[in-house]
Amino acid sequence: MTTLSSNVAAVYAEYVANYGKDNADYLMDVMGAWQKHYSHVAVIDLGIGDNAAVEAKVQADAARHGWIFERVAGNLILIRRLSEGDWANDFLLLQPGEHIAINCLSDCCCRASVLYFWAMPVPNHFIPNRDSRVFAPLRDFLHAPPQSVVAEYIAALTAPGDVVLDPFGALPNVARAAVALGRRAIVVESNPLWAWLARALATLPPAAEIDAALTRLGDVPKDDVALRTHLEQLYVTRCAACQQLTPADYFIRTRAGGLVARHYTCAHCGVTREDAATEEDWKRADAIAARGIHYHFALARVLPENGAFAERLRKMLDLYTPRNLSALATLTQKIEARFHAAREQTILLLLLLHALERGASFFAKPDATPELMSHPQFVEFNLWRQIEAAARALTTSPPALELAESPSAVMNAAARVFIGRGNAKTLARDLPRDSVALVLTAPPTRRVAVWALAYFWGAWILGRAAVQSLVPFLDTRKGAAWEWRWYADGLDSAFKSIAQFGRTDAPAVLVFDAAWHSVLEALLLAAAGARWKPEAFVFQPRLGDLPRHEFDDVWGEYRLAFVHAAADRRPLTDVPTLEKRIRASALAAANEIFARRGEALAFSFVHHAAFVRIAREGWLADARATPLKMSPGRFVHNAVLAGLQDGYADDFDHSSNANQFVWFRRSHALDVPLIERVEAEVRALLSRGVTSREELQDALYRKFPGDLTPEAGLIELCAAAYAEPVTEAERARAMNALARLGERLGYQTISDFRFQVSDLSPSAIENRKSKIENFDVVWLSNGEMAHAFVWRVRAAFADLAQIHIAPTRGYVIVPEQWVALMREKTRRLPYLADAFYEAGWNFVRLAAVEKLLTQEKVERSDVALITGLIPPLMAARAQLGLL
Amino acid sequence: MFGVRGTRAVYLCAAHSPHIVDVELLERGLHDQPADLRAQLQARIDAASAEAYDAILLAYGLCGQATAGIRAPLGGCRVVVPRARLHHPLSWQSRALPR
């Protein structure tokens, strides 16, 4: 045991070279101290070869250290079973993509008495956002992964005590989830305003302190009244009910400066109203000069010292009405002059930041999310009310975290979490290589306008010097090409640095939403440069979101997990071959996702499948390593599109109308349409008594993981269709209504009609293999079958497309609860819907039949009014309702 | 198959196995630094899984840190690890008891 192996000898030699012999001996002694912690030593005799020499050596060591010597008979059973493939029970089998996870009962792995090991794959199913909406200023501008989502990844991919790194942490979500699970977290953010915000939100004082700060702020005197009174008076309006003055909640204004409406709850008579703005409101709003002292105060705050980008900053100031700008200037002056205690100031600056967001003209409606665009009409909020609401919301924040002063304190296990300003490069000072168990984050926003706003707000709140690094984003001349290069280059260098901190086995998980295709391309390309390969990928758009044009984006939720990839082959750098491979790979990926989902898809699905596959196969890394005439991103993008175009020569097709463009394959090698599989699973779960939305989602997302993930809302749509089972009584009601209608139209009607060969029209005889033997109701005209109705137990239509029923008109009777599901099915299966209609089929809604029956006069041509999923009869009513 | 100690036992069983088993040894002493060992093990697994093996067998037990996080690469083959606790040869019944 004490023989120096070659490795130990090498270590010793290194110590001698570096520290001298004395020190080296001391170090080896200390490192050999483990020997002191043992009381016994044993030689395991396997019965192979001669152990005498080893045994003599061990006995000598035992005598020297005072250990009790033992000889133990071992056996080869385990090793034999391992090598012979008999792996039941005593072995852990890792399937490709799985890794070993540990959990232990005590605090730290090293001291654990019991260790649990299991094989844990990177989650490949969609993990939905279950966060209750926690208030945070600028929340809608920040990209942060939901806490409920990151918690699942942390639990699945790390052990207690491990370090989780969030390199783009604009909110403390990852930190909170990690700490709650007993992990350590390092959260850095390069944007100084976001970093300040994350730290401030993670360390909020208790509710009472927030409350007290708000009260003190409101009490500050301003022109002989309290500040809160002064601010509220800026927004007063005359109550239309009692004619008294009362502060409004908000006004609706136009871009041109007009006032449209006012919303208020009267402080005197208590009514809540929204009225048209009056001339008095106009006058009051105009009383505040557009370029008054508050305007110059604000401009001086945000204008860089060299006066650069003055025009851009003036434009940003124009996002605020004079009234709001005046309120913001007053608030800022009072906070800075009166409040110097750090904690109190932080609270008030958070509230001010919120007021800066709400004061800008980003809100088309009072409850809308802010949008960076010129709304023709926007909301001018009463900013004092906004501050009060924000303070109330802040008091419900989760308890404060205890933050380390530097990442190294977390590495030394002196603290559990660091949140602060920094980036991958600054982290290199504090973070050793291979120290992070999981990288978990949302990539930074690509929208330069948001970075420019961060400068503006940051300069206002933290001072110009603090946000100096954001000044370049004010430059509007740089253009879209520069933006993309900036984003791609930034990700590239960030990912390369971040990857070094991760252990070899550390996955990197990106959780984000609403991305352009090019953002995903930039992420995958940067990841390839960091030698990360996609291991799990989930894209989930909202149900019904479809692009207008062939290659347009659809936004959605993303879960993208990478693992470190060892270089397994020489890069392919021959440009024509590389292009050919990428084209083939893109086409194969598209074929696969069409086949697997079995239905028409928005281009985003196809695009993502292609890029993820190309990344997995290493072609992205190759493109980066190859000298090209264009950027690797552009090269791959072109090759992918060329590959997808190749699909048209194959069996790709599309369906388009005014608002949607979907792609599909006409091949017969497709799986059952996803919607049918989801529907069947939801029905099965409902019949087993599962009713909670969460349970349904969890089961379905696990059953249909990765590229099979259903769109947001599909599960709910299926559940709504089957929540109330269709009953026999409903069928009887439908039969009855149809029989009555048939009679009134002068048809001979037959219920529960059974086919006789002689009943069939010549074309129907050709289809004698017809699966339908029964119609529930038929209408005969001169002995010919004119209309035939089918009642079904499931919202299915596609199978009928194979049954050519024309010239008879066939109908599937649709109960109201199936209408939405049926419409979705015809949308996703456009080729089957076409075949269905061409074969002579259509839908009829029971509600439409019953409505037609209420009319005094009906004619045979009226049948057209009740057919289709939105029959003209119902559509007309819907439009009337809207009017 | 990767082994660290008890090479005789590993070679003996490999020779008797009905399967073709290639044995590869990693240098002793690596286990002093679990992170290094894991990194090295993982690198070897990644490399081996690119070849046409049915499975990769680790003659390491599931001890502390060294095998935690070991991954079977996607698109590669299975990895088999004994569930045993200590990282002495798999034949062990080590009685070296912590005090």
Instruction: Work out the burial of residue B54: count CB atoms within 10 Å of its CB; fewer than 13 is exposed, 13-18 middle, 19 or more buried.
Output: exposed
Return the half-sphere exposure (C-beta side, CA atoms, 13 A cut-off) of residue A851.
17
- Of B17, B38, B89, nearest to A84 by CB-CB distance is B17
- Of B72, B91, B96, nearest to A74 by CB-CB distance is B91
Distance CA A644, CA A517 (A): 15
For testing contact with chain A, the best of B27, B28, B74 (most A CBs within 10 A) = B74
**CB neighbour burial string for A671-690, b if at least 16 within 10 angstroms, e if fewer:** eebbbbbbbebbbebbeeeb
pLDDT at position A114? 36
Tell me how crowded residue A755 is: count the other CB atoms within 10 A of its CB. Answer: 16
Task: Please list the residues that pair with B56 across neighbouring strands.
Answer: B79
Tell me how crowded residue A13 is: count the other CB atoms within 10 A of its CB. Answer: 11
The answer to whether B33 contacts chain A (CB < 8 Å) is no
**CB neighbour burial string for A109-120, b if at least 16 within 10 angstroms, e if fewer:** beebeebebebb
Interchain pair B83, A117: CB under 8 A: yes
Distance CA A471, CA A437 (A): 35
Distance CA A703, CA A694 (A): 14
Q: Which CATH number fits domain A728-882: 3.30.70, 3.40.50, 3.40.1350, 3.10.50?
A: 3.40.1350
Torsional sign, CA A192, A194, A199, A205: positive
Q: Which residues of A touch B22 (CB under 8 A)?
A: none
Do residues B66 and B59 touch, judged by C-beta distance below 8 A? no
Do residues A794 and A801 touch, judged by C-beta distance below 8 A? no
Tell me, what DSSP letter sits at residue B88? S
**Tokens of residue A6, six digits:** 């070659």
pLDDT at position A44? 75
For testing contact with chain A, the best of B91, B92, B94, B97 (most A CBs within 10 A) = B91
Interchain pair A83, B47: CB under 8 A: no
pLDDT at position A50? 77
Element (H, E) at A790: strand A784-790
Do residues A236 and A248 touch, judged by C-beta distance below 8 A? yes
- Going through A56-153 in order, the beta strands assigned E by DSSP cover 68-73, 91-94, 98-104, 115-121
Do residues A623 and A611 touch, judged by C-beta distance below 8 A? no
pLDDT at position A122? 87
Interchain pair A37, B84: CB under 8 A: no
Over 70: is that where the pLDDT of B33 sits?
Answer: no
Distance CA A687, CA A666 (A): 34
CA–CA min distance A638, chain B (Å): 27
The answer to whether B52 contacts chain A (CB < 8 Å) is no
Task: Please list the residues that pair with A104 across neighbouring strands.
Answer: A115
**Tokens of residue A721, six digits:** 């269709």
CA–CA min distance B22, chain A (Å): 10
Interchain pair A40, B97: CB under 8 A: yes
Give me the phi and psi of A601, to 5 degrees please.
Answer: -135, 150
Q: Where on the phi/psi map is residue A746: left (φ > 0), alpha (ψ -120 to 50), or beta?
A: left
Peptide bond into A145 cis (omega under 30): no
Whole-Å CA distances, A42 to A2, A56, A155, A357, A615: 14, 12, 39, 71, 51
Which parts of chain A register pLDDT below 50?
1-5, 103-117, 757-758, 765, 768-771, 878-883
Distance CA A723, CA B85 (A): 51
The answer to whether B72 contacts chain A (CB < 8 Å) is yes
Q: Which residues of A touch B97 (CB under 8 A)?
A: 38-40
pLDDT at position A91? 78
| Region B64-82 average pLDDT | 73
Distance CA A383, CA A206 (A): 24
CA–CA min distance B58, chain A (Å): 9
Q: Where on the phi/psi map is residue A66: left (φ > 0), alpha (ψ -120 to 50), or beta?
A: left
CB pairs under 8 A between A and B: 197
Distance CA A90, CA B85 (A): 11
The answer to whether B51 contacts chain A (CB < 8 Å) is no
Do residues A185 and A179 touch, judged by C-beta distance below 8 A? yes
Chain-centroid distance, C-alpha A266: 41
Cβ-based neighbours of A101, under 8 Å, separated by 6 or more = A117, A118, A119, A120, A156, A157, A159, B68, B69
Q: Which residue has the higher pLDDT, A14 or B96?
A: A14
Q: Where on the phi/psi map is residue A3: left (φ > 0), alpha (ψ -120 to 50), or beta?
A: beta
**Predicted interface score ipTM higher than 0.90:** no
For testing contact with chain B, the best of A1, A27, A100, A157 (most B CBs within 10 A) = A100
Strands A556-564 and A508-513: antiparallel
pLDDT at position B28? 59
Residue with tokens 């009713």: A691
Do residues A401 and A418 touch, judged by C-beta distance below 8 A? no
Interchain pair B96, A46: CB under 8 A: no
Interchain pair B42, A504: CB under 8 A: yes
pLDDT at position B6? 64
Whole-Å CA distances, B70 to A151, A253, A787, B11, B81: 22, 61, 66, 23, 10
Per-residue pLDDT band for B61 (boundaries 50, 70, 90) equals low
Do residues A777 and A741 touch, judged by C-beta distance below 8 A? no
Distance CA A697, CA A127 (A): 9
The answer to whether B94 contacts chain A (CB < 8 Å) is yes
Tell me how crowded residue A873 is: count the other CB atoms within 10 A of its CB. Answer: 20
Distance CA A340, CA A347 (A): 11
Distance CA A49, CA A76 (A): 14
Whole-Å CA distances, B78 to A269, A661, A826, B53: 75, 42, 43, 9
pLDDT at position B65? 58
Q: Which residues of B touch A102 (CB under 8 A)?
A: 68
Interchain pair B1, A83: CB under 8 A: yes
Give me the phi and psi of A400, to 5 degrees please.
Answer: -65, 150
Give me the phi and psi of A867, to 5 degrees please.
Answer: -100, 155
Q: Which residues of B touch A28 (CB under 8 A)?
A: none
- Of B1, B50, B83, nearest to A568 by CB-CB distance is B50
- Of A80, A117, A503, nearest to B62 by CB-CB distance is A117
Q: Which residues of B touch A501 (CB under 8 A)?
A: none
Q: What is the CA radius of gyration of chain B?
A: 13
- Of B27, B38, B69, nearest to A7 by CB-CB distance is B27
Do residues A223 and A322 touch, judged by C-beta distance below 8 A? no
Distance CA A151, CA A171 (A): 14
Strands A115-121 and A163-166: unpaired
Distance CA A518, CA A84 (A): 50
Distance CA A226, CA A217 (A): 9
pLDDT at position A656? 87
pLDDT at position A102? 58
Q: Which residue of B has its CA nearest to A8?
A: B29
Distance CA A17, CA A305 (A): 55
Q: Which residue of B has its CA nearest to A44?
A: B92
Give CA torsion, residues B82, B85, B89, B90, to 10 deg: -40
pLDDT at position B86? 40
Do residues A44 and B92 touch, judged by C-beta distance below 8 A? yes
Instruction: Work out the burial of residue A719: count CB atoms within 10 Å of its CB; fewer than 13 is exposed, 13-18 middle, 19 or more buried.
Output: buried
Q: Calculate ∠ Cα A596-A615-B54, nearest 5°.
A: 75
**Tokens of residue A174, six digits:** 């990852």
Q: Which residues of B touch A83 (CB under 8 A)?
A: 1, 10, 13-14, 16-17, 19, 21, 57
Cβ-based neighbours of A95, under 8 Å, separated by 6 or more = A119, A121, B72, B78
Distance CA A806, CA A737 (A): 23
Do residues A74 and B89 touch, judged by C-beta distance below 8 A? yes
- Of A84, A100, A115, nearest to B81 by CB-CB distance is A100
Give me the phi and psi of A351, to 5 degrees please.
Answer: -65, -40
**What is the maximum span of chain B, computed from C-alpha positions, in angstroms?**
45
Computed over every residue of chain B, the mean pLDDT equals 67
Distance CA A561, CA A153 (A): 10
